[in-house]
Amino acid sequence: MEKITFSIPKISCGHCVMTIKRELSELEGVFKVEGDPARKEITVEWKDPASLNKIKELLKEINYPPA
């Protein structure tokens, strides 16, 4: 299991966090996504077959690239 906290400058509200949670949760291997709109952060926990690169690519794809 791996865990990372991303700084996501484009987060502006709880809706942004919910969108990110929904999209990342569909990625196989991601089992926990938490977000804080005030701090503009997302914490993701995952295991194989998910990977850090896959998570970063998906965040870019949905227009919430990590800083």
With bands split at pLDDT 50, 70 and 90, how would you rate the model's confidence at 23?
very high
pLDDT > 90: percent of the chain: 100
- The verdict on pTM exceeding 0.85 is yes
pLDDT, average across residues 20-48: 97
Please tell me what DSSP assigns to residue 1: -
Task: For residue 47, give every residue at least 6 positions away whose Cβ sits within 8 Å of its Cβ, in sequence order, or none.
Answer: 1, 2, 29, 31
pLDDT at 39: 97
Which domains can be identified in the chain, with CATH numbers?
Answer: 2-61 (3.30.70.100)
Q: What is the mean pLDDT of residues 24-36?
A: 97
